[in-house]
Chains A and B, each alone.
Chain A
Amino acid sequence: MSLKEKLSLDFVTTVKAIGWILVMGWLGTAPAHAQLRIEIVDGVEGATPVAVVPFVWAASQQAPATGVADVVAANLARTGLFEAIPRSQLIERPTEPQDVGFGAWRLVGADYLIMGRVVDAPDGPGLEIEYHLVDVNAETAVLSQALPVRPGGLRFGAHRVSDAIYEALMGVPGAFATRIAYVVVQDSGTDDEVFELIVADADGFNPQAVVRNSEPIMSPAWSPDGRQIAYVSFATGRSNIIVQDLYTGQNRVVSSSRGINGAPAFSPDGRFLAVSLSRGGSPDIWLIDLETNDRRQLTRHWSINTEPVWSKDGEVIYFTSDRAGRPQIYSIGRDGAGLARLTFEGEYNSRASVGLDDRFLALVHSPGNNDFRIGIYDRETERLRVLSDGRMDESPSFAPNGSMILYARRDNGRGELAAVSADGRVRQRLVNSEGDVREPAWSPLLR
C-alpha cells in the first residue's frame, strides 16, 4: 500500500469514525471501549491455491511443447505447499496485473495468480520471461520481474521464475533452479553394463552424463559451490575417491588407500572431504584436507563407520555405524570428540542428509520388516517420521532449501528418481532416462 493510498484511507477512516462516534453519542449508548480480542486457533492446514495462467508466447522462435507456466505449476505443486488450480478452471488469461478481474479469481478460489509472457531478449540472442505474481485477496502485485534467459535455457529460466515466486511467498529461497547428480546403470546385470554419473535439472529434465565407465561409480557428492562432484570410482579395479570439476572436466584422485575408499562428503567450506576408509581394517570416518592432502582419523572402532555428512556449521559430522549391532546414526565433532548416538527408533537408520538447519535429518529407515523407507528425524522432538511408501527406498538427499527430499526407489527391480515434500504430503516420481538409477544427490543453491 503506497503512502498516498494509506493517507487517503486514513482520511476516509477518520471521517467515517467521527461520523459514527457522533451518531453513537447522539444515541447516548456508546459501548465500552474494551479492546475486542478474538482467538483464531489452528485454522485449516492446507496447500495455498495458486492459479498459473499459461504465459503468452510473443517471441519470434517456435514455442516449446512445455510452457513456462507448466514448469512453474509443476514445481510449485511438487513442494506440497501449493496447489495448482486446474487449467480448465482458469477463466481468464491476463498477462498483466491491471487485466485481472479479482472477483472472478476469488470465486475460483485462487489466493495467488501467476501470469506473464515470453518475448525476445531486447538485446542479443535469447529470450526474456516477463512474469507477475498477484495476491488475489489483497488485490496487489507481489512480484513483477523480467528474467533474461540464454538460448536453450528457457526451462531453467522457468525454474528461476519458480524460485523467485517461491521466495516471495515462503520467505526462503526456492530450490528449483538447482541440479541433481545420480548414478545410472545401463544394461544393469549384463556384460555390457555401463555406469554413468549424470547431472540433471532438479526436476529430472536435461540429464547429462559427466562420467561413463564399465566399472562401478558410487556415492556422488556436491561441493558447496556446486562446481565439483566427489564420487567413488572402481575404474582401476579398486575403490578410489575422485573429485571432478563439472565446468573444466578435470578430475583428481584424492584417496586410494588400501581397502575401502568410500562415501565422500564436502565440508561446508569446501576444504575438507569426510570419507570412510578401511585401510585394511574396518571402515572408519576420516577427514581429508583437499589443500594439504593431510588425513585425520575421526572414529576408531571395529564396527562399520561410513556415510559421513557435515552439520551446517561444519563442526559436527553425522555418520552411520553398526557399533550397537544394527546401523544407526551417530554424531562426532570434527575434532574427533563428543561421539553420540542420535537415532534409536526402528532397527535400521542410515545415510543421513542434513536439512535447512541441523534440526532435521533425512535418512533410510527400516522398522525391522525389511522395508526400507525414507524417514525424517527431528532432532528437537527426537521423533522420526516416515515419508516414503516404497520397500527399497534409498539415498535421501535434502533440497538445499529443505523443502523436499530426493531419493531413489525401486520399481520392477529398476531404480528411479522420486521426490517427497518435507512434510510427506506430496510424493512424485521424476522423469529420467532409461537405466537403473541410484544414489541421487541434490546440489547446493547455485548462483
Chain B
Amino acid sequence: MIQKRPNPDLKGGLLALLQALGIHLAFAGLLLVSSWNWQAFEAPEVAVRVSLVDMGPTVAERERAEREAERRAQLEAEREAEEAARRAAEREAAERARREAERQAQAQAQREAEQARQREQARLEREAARQAAEERARQEAQARERELAEIRAQREAAQKAREAEEAALEALAQERLAKEAERREREAAERLRLANEQARADARRATLREEYILTIQELIRRNWTRPPTTAPGMTCTLRVVQIPGGEIISSELVSPCNADPATRRSIETAINRVDTLPYRGYESVFEREIEFGFRYDG
C-alpha cells in the first residue's frame, strides 16, 4: 500500500530544510552581535593603564623607570601579544565551538525535521488507511444497500403480486358468499318472517307472564307479616281462585300444612289484605287459580 502511494512529502521536506537554515542564520547573527559588544567595552580599560606610567619623579629612577617601563612595555607587549594570541585562539575556539554548535543545531534540526517528516508521513499513512477503509466500507455498504434494495423490490413485487392474487380470490369468495347469502336470505326470507312473527307473539306472552308472577309475588310477600312464632322449615300452600278483574273469590290452605295457628292466620291475612290481584295489562296471562307456596327457612 505504501509503495503504491505517490511522493507527497517532497515539497514538505524542502520547506523544512529552508526553515532549519533560517533558524541557524538567526542564531549566528545573534552570536556576532554579542561579540561586538564585548570588544567595545575592552578599549577604555587600556587608556587608563597608560596614564599611570607617566608619573615617575627622578631621571635614574626615570631611566630605571624607563627601562623598567621599556621592560614592562616589552613584557606588556609580549603579554599583549600573548593575550592577543590567546584571544585569537579563544576567538578561533569560540568560532569553532560556534561552528560546532551551528553544525550540531543544524544536525538536530535536521533530525527533528526528519522525525516530524516521519510522524507526518505516518499520520498521512494512517489517514490514508482510514480513508481507504472508510471508502471500502462505504462501497461495501453501498453494495449491500443495492443488494437489499433489490431484494426488497423483489419482495415487494412478489407481495404485490400475491396481494393482487389474494384480492382477486377474496373478491371472488366475497362474491360467492354474497351470492350464497343472498340466495339463502332469499330462500329463508319467507320462512323467517313467519317464524319471527310467531316467536314475537310467544315472547310477549312469556315476559308478560313472568312480570305478572313477579308482581303478584312481591305484593303477597310484602303483605305477609310473619309472626315470630313461625318455626323454620314451615311450608304451606294456599290455593286462591280469582276472577277476571283480579278479585279473589276464595282462598284455602291446602293440607298438609305444618304452620302453627298464628302463622296460618298470618298467611290468610296476607291474602285478605291484598284482596284484589293485579289484572289490568295482564289480561292475556291471567290465571284463574293460583297456588301460593308460603315458606320460611329460618
Contacts of A37 in B (CB 8 A): 290-293
Using known A-B contacts A37-B290, A43-B225, A46-B225, determine if residue A9 contacts B268 with beta carbons closer than 8 Å: no
Q: Which of A134-153 contact B (CB under 8 A)?
A: 135, 137-138
Task: Provide the bound-state CA to CA distance between A421 and B228, in Å.
Answer: 10
Residue of B nearest to A21 (CB): B288
Contacts of B68 in A (CB 8 A): none
Contact A40 B220 (CB under 8 A): yes
Task: Provide the bound-state CA to CA distance between A122 and B260, in Å.
Answer: 38
Whether, in the assembled complex, B266 has its beta carbon less than 8 Å from a beta carbon of chain A, the answer is: yes
Contact B216 A38 (CB under 8 A): yes
Using known A-B contacts A9-B250, A44-B222, A169-B262, determine if residue A38 contacts B291 with beta carbons closer than 8 Å: yes
B229 to chain A, nearest CB (A): 7
Q: Which of A216-273 contact B (CB under 8 A)?
A: none
Q: Quick one: CB contact mask for A64-104 with B, threshold 8 Å, 1 for yes?
A: 00000000000000001100000000000000000000000
Contact B296 A42 (CB under 8 A): yes
Contact A36 B224 (CB under 8 A): no
Contacts of A345 in B (CB 8 A): none
Whether, in the assembled complex, B99 has its beta carbon less than 8 Å from a beta carbon of chain A, the answer is: no
B286 to chain A, nearest CB (A): 8
Contact A170 B285 (CB under 8 A): no
Contact A171 B260 (CB under 8 A): yes
Task: Provide the bound-state CA to CA distance between A380 and B243, in Å.
Answer: 45
User: Which of B221, B222, B249, B286 is in CB contact (< 8 Å) with A9?
Assistant: B249
User: Which of A31, A38, A423 is in CB contact (< 8 Å) with B220?
Assistant: A38
Task: Provide the bound-state CA to CA distance between A48 and B290, in Å.
Answer: 26
Whether, in the assembled complex, B110 has its beta carbon less than 8 Å from a beta carbon of chain A, the answer is: no
Q: Which of A11-52 contact B (CB under 8 A)?
A: 12-13, 16-17, 20, 29, 31, 35-49
* Chain-A contact segment, one of B4-12, B31-39, B127-135, B269-277: B269-277
Task: Provide the bound-state CA to CA distance between A9 and B242, in Å.
Answer: 12
Using known A-B contacts A13-B249, A36-B287, A138-B272, determine if residue A42 contacts B226 with beta carbons closer than 8 Å: yes
Task: Provide the bound-state CA to CA distance between A13 and B249, in Å.
Answer: 7
Whether, in the assembled complex, A289 has its beta carbon less than 8 Å from a beta carbon of chain B, the answer is: no
Contacts of B288 in A (CB 8 A): 17, 20
Task: Provide the bound-state CA to CA distance between A421 and B268, in Å.
Answer: 25
Q: Quick one: CB contact mask for B195-223 with A, threshold 8 Å, 1 for yes?
A: 00000000000000000010011001110
Q: Which of B244-298 contact A (CB under 8 A)?
A: 244, 249-250, 260-262, 264-266, 268-270, 272-273, 275, 284-297
Contact A81 B243 (CB under 8 A): no
Whether, in the assembled complex, B241 has its beta carbon less than 8 Å from a beta carbon of chain A, the answer is: yes
B261 to chain A, nearest CB (A): 2
Contacts of B297 in A (CB 8 A): 41-42
Using known A-B contacts A42-B221, A172-B261, determine if residue A81 contacts B228 with beta carbons closer than 8 Å: yes
Contacts of B275 in A (CB 8 A): 137
B45 to chain A, nearest CB (A): 133
Whether, in the assembled complex, B227 has its beta carbon less than 8 Å from a beta carbon of chain A, the answer is: yes
Contacts of B265 in A (CB 8 A): 169, 171
Contact B289 A36 (CB under 8 A): yes
Contact A170 B229 (CB under 8 A): yes
Whether, in the assembled complex, A120 has its beta carbon less than 8 Å from a beta carbon of chain B, the answer is: no
A350 to chain B, nearest CB (A): 26
Contacts of B286 in A (CB 8 A): 31
Residue of B nearest to A10 (CB): B250
Contact A12 B220 (CB under 8 A): no
Residue of A nearest to B228 (CB): A423
Q: Which of B228, B273, B296 has the most CB of A within 10 A?
A: B228
Q: Which of B227, B230, B287, B296 has the most CB of A within 10 A?
A: B227
User: Which of A17, A36, A138 is in CB contact (< 8 Å) with B291?
Assistant: A36
B103 to chain A, nearest CB (A): 122
Residue of A nearest to B224 (CB): A43
Using known A-B contacts A38-B216, A48-B266, A172-B261, determine if residue A43 contacts B226 with beta carbons closer than 8 Å: yes
Using known A-B contacts A31-B285, A39-B217, determine if residue A45 contacts B262 with beta carbons closer than 8 Å: no
User: Which of B225, B260, B287, B294 is in CB contact (< 8 Å) with A40?
Assistant: B294
User: Which of A16, A39, A45 is in CB contact (< 8 Å) with B226?
Assistant: A45
Whether, in the assembled complex, A425 has its beta carbon less than 8 Å from a beta carbon of chain B, the answer is: yes
Contact A81 B227 (CB under 8 A): yes
User: Which of A9, A80, A111, A423 is in CB contact (< 8 Å) with B225?
Assistant: A111
Contacts of A35 in B (CB 8 A): 289, 291
Task: Provide the bound-state CA to CA distance between A162 and B277, in Å.
Answer: 34
Task: Provide the bound-state CA to CA distance between A39 and B217, in Å.
Answer: 7
Residue of A nearest to B245 (CB): A16
Contacts of B268 in A (CB 8 A): 138
Contact A31 B287 (CB under 8 A): yes
Contacts of A36 in B (CB 8 A): 213, 287, 289-291
Contacts of B296 in A (CB 8 A): 41-43
Contact B217 A38 (CB under 8 A): yes
Task: Provide the bound-state CA to CA distance between A137 and B265, in Å.
Answer: 11
User: Which of B225, B244, B285, B295 is in CB contact (< 8 Å) with A20?
Assistant: B244
Contact A43 B270 (CB under 8 A): yes
Contacts of A421 in B (CB 8 A): 228
Q: Which of A162-176 contact B (CB under 8 A)?
A: 169-172
Contacts of B273 in A (CB 8 A): 106, 111, 137
User: Which of A17, A40, A171, A425 is in CB contact (< 8 Å) with B224?
Assistant: A40
Residue of A nearest to B289 (CB): A35
Contacts of A31 in B (CB 8 A): 284-287
Contact B221 A135 (CB under 8 A): no
Q: Which of A389-447 contact B (CB under 8 A)?
A: 421, 423, 425
A265 to chain B, nearest CB (A): 27
A230 to chain B, nearest CB (A): 32
Residue of A nearest to B205 (CB): A31
Contact A38 B272 (CB under 8 A): no
Contact A46 B226 (CB under 8 A): yes
Task: Provide the bound-state CA to CA distance between A421 and B270, in Å.
Answer: 24
Contact B272 A137 (CB under 8 A): yes
Other than the known A37-B292, A137-B269, what 16 A-B pairs have Cβ atoms closer than 8 Å?
A13-B243, A13-B250, A31-B287, A36-B289, A36-B291, A37-B291, A38-B216, A38-B291, A39-B292, A40-B224, A42-B221, A45-B226, A46-B226, A106-B273, A170-B261, A171-B262
What are 10 A-B interface contacts by the 8 Å CB criterion? A37-B291, A40-B217, A42-B226, A42-B295, A43-B294, A44-B226, A49-B225, A170-B227, A171-B264, A423-B229
Please provide the 7 A-B residue pairs with the shortest distance between their CB atoms, ordered closest to farther. A171-B261, A43-B224, A137-B272, A36-B287, A43-B226, A423-B228, A37-B291
